[in-house]
Structure 1
Amino acid sequence: MKASKFKTVMLVMTAILTVFLAACGNSASNNNAGNEQPQQSAATEGSGSTESSTESPKEPIKVVWWHSMGGELGKAVTELANDFNATHSDIQVEEVYQGTYDESLNKMKASMDSKSGPSLIQVYEIGSKFMIDSKAVTPVQTFIDSDNYDISNLEENILGYYQFDGKLYSMPFNTSNPVLYYNKDMFKAAGLDPENPPKTYEDVTAAAKALTKDGKTGAAFAIYGWFMEQFFANQGAEYVNNGNGRASSATESQLNSEAGLGTINWLKSLLDEKIALNLGRKTDDTKKAFLAGQVGMTLDSTGSLRGIVDNAKGKFEVGTAFLPRPAGATDGGVIVGGASLWIMNNKSEAEQQAAWEFIKYLAEPATQAKWHIASGYFPINKLAYEEQIVKDNLVQYPQFQTAIDQLHATKLSPATQGAVMGVFPEARQIVEGAMEEVFTGAKDSKTAFDDAAKAISEKIATYNKTVQ
């Protein structure tokens, strides 16, 4: 679609969605900005009765990649782009850090009319419905089909999040899921088996009671909407209606369902029994308490695994376990988090094809192995686990095997594919606000979650009107 065709859509959606995109406080940060692709030139000369044609060497097609990877992750992204450029003289990728996911997406919207935006953009997973509704992208399925590209070696449970109506809209790039981290030394001191970590809500409660002594507390779980979404999926429960928003557009939040109320009541019971600490919304705060040996268990992303293990060295041994679920819950699993890569359709076919070539490079086993080692994110290509550097990394960080096993144990369903709604960032904030109300006693769990579900449903309704 040309920029002029979706200009109206973007103007209408911008007003209602700017607040939604700004609301998510747990997004990653980093990205890059770019310029238009170089123009190709040719010269033709005629002389006498003979005619000759000469064409100057074509300049490489420039692919401008906006991303949100900062710090060490940003350095890893730069290295990936440089490696690609060194082996592709006809394509040159210019990676540009654009700040947080929210900031990058807002810049993308502002760039539409001028075409000064990217060829390729990294967007967090909860921005997927907005990207589709914007009609500003070419689904990667288009290139997969025309290229007969084999996706059989890519992780099905990762692809599943980004597939809608049987079509893959974007290519996963950085992928994580949550795991339970626990202090093996504290487990031993409390008489718990460090090789048999908690599996259920009830197990966590029992372990937290045993761990809470000598000025230390059993657990601390951040108030994070992503965790609530994961607890739903791990019970096989859908977060919004209409097949988690995948059969048709969601119209109602199901936060106040049995899965939601059961989970929030369990979390509140840990606080009431003083066997868990409420350290607020920042996962970094619970991580610091865990690394300081103040709490025995916490939840965090697999993307944090290497940092947690490294920072605990010399202090205690870190154990990892699957995300807990209620006793009796057998279906479900975890939802992937992170972000994927989207090809913008207001660029030339040649530029879009060049972006696809770069995406294919990023999905290669060797590239994924390198990215995994540098970032801690899952390889999206299963063959990456056969690369020696990945095998060596698993020896150094055996805790990551838990993450791999949990991903593969997940049963793909609408629940574990993840909810789809255009107001996801703001919905997360509403959920976190409701959790705080319950934990502080400002509202009982049913009232807080009823109110939150109603607020989210109203936001969904407003959004749906803007895209019809």
Structure 2
Amino acid sequence: MKRIWLLGLVLLLVLAGCTNSETAGGGETGQTGDGKVKVTFWHSMGGDAGKALQKIVDNYNAKQTKVFVQTEYQGSYEEALTKLKTVGGTPEAPTLMQVYEVGTKFMSESGYIQPVQNFIDKEQFDLSQLEENIAGYYRIDGKLYSMPFNTSNAVMFYNKDKFRDAGLDPEKPPRTFSEVREAAEKLTDSAKDEKGFAILIYGWFIEQLMANQGADYLDEGNGRKGEPAKTLLNGPEGLRIYQWLDEMNKEGVLGNYGRKWDDIRAAFKAGKVAIYLDSTAATASNVKDSPFEVGTGFLPVPDGVEPKGVIIGGGSIWMMNSVSDEQKAAGWDFLKFVAQPDTQAQWAVDTGYFPITKAAYDEKILQDTYAKYPQYLTAVKQLQSTKLTIATQGALMSVFPEARAEVENSIEKLYGGADAQKVLDETAEKINKLLADHKKVSK
């Protein structure tokens, strides 16, 4: 009996220890062991960007004594969103969640979130300090649903050394589709398997090239004036893009490096491709790690078309509605810290993403970086020269991830020899079906 009694006592102590450990770690209490409010922050920043994000969090945790932010990496944007769907609306959900820009429509309709506009209105937070072209993407019906964070756009990177060797002006990157094609022809060396131009097989770039022509991606005001029923991808603007890629592919001057960011970036740094399109998030790595001089340029447009600008990429931070009011308030305090000029300036220096806060450009650390690496400024100038329209504000649809996958499939078919207009029409039909199916389910 004595042994049984002792065993029971040990089990009780173990269970008590587990309970105390859960309370100390956060759990449903939302507090750490030392009484701080715990904010759990799910994110998708890996590598150097992940380290830069942790630096922001560590700085915040060190500068105040009431809140502790704990970051938890959840894999890619797609993987993170899948995980959220299993816990959204429950106490197991994080306080804050980073979501990529095309998840905006889904998140706003998910029932999981509390718009940050609620805190903005309550505190009369000055939104004019944010870049309008950035805040505009995340604003729906005049309400800011999430706090912009890692903000990028698509830019051109090119190898200045190869430009010089080919007799091209390294200070004048190509600005039009035909100029890119002509440069790619001069920069291609088939004997060395070196291509003149490449673009990642990723739907985001097609969206960007559409917007730069002033073209909406969806009907119903790009999905911002009503529930969209069809895509406009297979219109003349989309056809120009696909024909341009098709022509360069058939000439052998276009490199196909698949769908993985790391593969096309590695090809550029290895000198296997001279010009390619990428996110501004690659700026720091490309400029500092490439064994040659790197140039940056604006996104190209078809000949005779005036550039209209770009859609922002990257992601924003959302507040969950299933956590305590205390955690929400703590999460909002952290979001304000993230938006501070000094925080945004350091983030831009460490990653190549550009600041969401206008005053960040006045910070010395960012001014010094831009002076040393003018390549960073291309994305900033491109963003600031963009006129905020329905096209550049970006499309909204709940099935955006699925639509992007269809676009990526279509580009592979194009490279495989399919007719540009035919493959666009087939892709548009598939996206339209996705929209129709979603409308039926959401009723």
Partner of 1:172: 148
Q: Are 2:236 and 1:258 aligned?
A: yes
Partner of 2:422: 447
Provide the rounded CA distance (Å) in 2 between the counterparts of 1:408 and 1:113. 37
Q: Are 2:174 and 1:207 aligned?
A: no
Contact preservation (8 Å) 1:197, 1:321: yes
Structure 2: stretches of 5+ with no match in the other structure? 1-24
> Per-residue displacement from partner, 1:378-425 (whole Å, max 9, x unpaired)?
111111111111112113321011111011111111111111111111
Partner of 1:421: 397
Shift in CA distance, 64/195, structure 1 to aligned 2, threshold 3 Å: same
Provide the rounded CA distance (Å) in 2 between the counterparts of 1:317 and 1:394. 16
Give 4+ residue runs of structure 1 displaced > 4 Å after superposition: none
Provide the rounded CA distance (Å) in 2 between the counterparts of 1:127 and 1:218. 33
Range that drifts further, 156-165 or 390-399: 390-399
Give the 5 Å matches for 1:342-353: 342-353=318-329
> Per-residue displacement from partner, 1:193-221 (whole Å, max 9, x unpaired)?
11111111011112112223464432122
Give the 5 Å matches for 1:76-87: 76-87=52-63
Counterpart of 1:462, as a letter, is D
Partner of 2:14: none
Partner of 1:193: 169
Partner of 2:257: 279
Provide the rounded CA distance (Å) in 1 between the counterparts of 2:411 and 2:106. 26
Could you tell me which of 86, 97, 101 is aligned with 1:121? 97
Contact preservation (8 Å) 2:233, 2:424: yes
Give the 5 Å matches for 1:288-303: 288-303=266-281
The offset of 1:121, in angstroms, is: 0.7
Partner of 1:4: none
Shift in CA distance, 438/83, structure 1 to aligned 2, threshold 3 Å: same
Provide the rounded CA distance (Å) in 1 between the counterparts of 2:413 and 2:254. 17
Shift in CA distance, 70/200, structure 1 to aligned 2, threshold 3 Å: same
Residue aligned with 1:187, SS: helix
Partner of 1:462: 437
Contact preservation (8 Å) 1:185, 1:317: yes
Residue aligned with 1:94, SS: strand
Identity of aligned residues (%): 48
Provide the rounded CA distance (Å) in 2 between the counterparts of 1:212 and 1:74. 35
Partner of 1:29: none
Partner of 2:224: 246
Q: Are 2:388 and 1:402 aligned?
A: no
Contact preservation (8 Å) 1:34, 1:94: no
The offset of 1:338, in angstroms, is: 0.8
> Per-residue displacement from partner, 1:59-107 (whole Å, max 9, x unpaired)?
3322111111223322222222222122222222222222222222222
> Per-residue displacement from partner, 1:134-160 (whole Å, max 9, x unpaired)?
122111111111111112121111111
Partner of 1:225: 203
Range that drifts further, 373-382 or 195-204: 373-382
Structure 1: stretches of 5+ with no match in the other structure? 1-32, 41-56
Contact preservation (8 Å) 1:183, 1:297: yes
Q: Are 2:297 and 1:305 aligned?
A: no
Give the 5 Å matches for 1:28-39: 35-38=27-30
The offset of 1:34, in angstroms, is: 6.0
The offset of 1:122, in angstroms, is: 0.7
Q: Are 2:140 and 1:148 aligned?
A: no
Contact preservation (8 Å) 2:54, 2:71: yes
Contact preservation (8 Å) 2:31, 2:38: no
Counterpart of 2:70, as a letter, is E
Residue aligned with 2:127, SS: coil
Provide the rounded CA distance (Å) in 2 between the counterparts of 1:369 and 1:391. 9
Counterpart of 1:188, as a letter, is R
Provide the rounded CA distance (Å) in 1 between the counterparts of 2:265 and 2:79. 26
TM-score, length basis structure 1 = 0.85
Contact preservation (8 Å) 1:333, 1:416: yes
Contact preservation (8 Å) 1:68, 1:104: yes
> Per-residue displacement from partner, 1:208-240 (whole Å, max 9, x unpaired)?
122234644321222221110110011010111
The offset of 1:305, in angstroms, is: 1.0
Counterpart of 1:367, as a letter, is T
Contact preservation (8 Å) 1:233, 1:332: yes
Counterpart of 1:116, as a letter, is E
Residue aligned with 1:399, SS: helix
Give me the CA root mean square deviation. Answer: 1.9
Contact preservation (8 Å) 2:218, 2:228: yes
> Per-residue displacement from partner, 1:346-371 (whole Å, max 9, x unpaired)?
22222212211110010000111122
Residue aligned with 1:332, SS: coil
Range that drifts further, 237-246 or 371-380: 371-380
> Per-residue displacement from partner, 1:23-47 (whole Å, max 9, x unpaired)?
xxxxxxxxxx96333479xxxxxxx
Residue aligned with 2:333, SS: helix
Partner of 1:52: none
User: Aligned pair count?
Assistant: 417
Shift in CA distance, 353/181, structure 1 to aligned 2, threshold 3 Å: same
Partner of 2:135: 159
Range that drifts further, 409-418 or 98-107: 98-107
